Structure 1
Amino acid sequence: MNTEDFLSDEFLKQFKTAKLLNDFLAQIQKRGIEKMLEGELDGHLGYCKNEQTDGDNARNGYGKKKIKTSYGESEIKVPRDRDASFNPMIVPKRENMVEGIEEVIVSLYAKGMSVSDIEEQIKDVNKFDVSPSTIS
């Protein structure tokens, strides 16, 4: 499904109430945050999921974390590494607030932005740098 499909009248007519639309946007946000966390772990480990590596550190499943956003509370899967050195920038350890990230995630899906545009927007909104591998 591409950007035009998300913005089409046919797709949007399924949202009969503000709650249905809000729930959908919350799910997009949740999935987007989880994918960004996976990208961050790829950058931290230096290789993508399912690639071979000779390094000592490796993926070690997922942990659950409750986060709060303007869409409400949500439980996300946070990827882990074996030596516990992965500290995500998007949702840092021991924090549960994701302020402003929803604008980034929604615009990511709605605008079909390039990786460099998304990287710049995350930096502007959240005041921290992310690598292109985190975004993709």
Structure 2
Amino acid sequence: DAVVQTCIVHLLRNSMDFVSWKDRKGLASALKEVYRAPSAEAAEQALTAFEAGPWGTRYPAIGQSWRRAWTEVIPFFAFPDEVRRIIYTTNSIEALNSKLRRAVRARG
């Protein structure tokens, strides 16, 4: 019954691997339209617009990588915007789990 969701930050970092250093800032702002969309349908439209736009035609592998991970991206849009900011990255969740494991291991 678990819902698998990919980390948006890791997906963005993976996208930046395809891009030259001088294009990273512009590309990141273009991808912001996708992951800040109000719903999954709006995000898919934004991704389609990104793929058809100048960044998507210049770097087609980015759109393809987002499409491959799309089933793990969609659960992100089920949460309200305030919650999305918290779960935007899994680092805070991973840090909490690490502290819990450390506490349990220390207490035996």
Q: Could you state the TM-score of these two structures normalised by the residue count of structure 1?
A: 0.26
Greater relative contact order, per chain length (Cα 8 Å cut-off, separation 6+): 2
Q: Which has the higher helix share?
A: 2
Q: Which structure has the highest strand share of the two?
A: 1
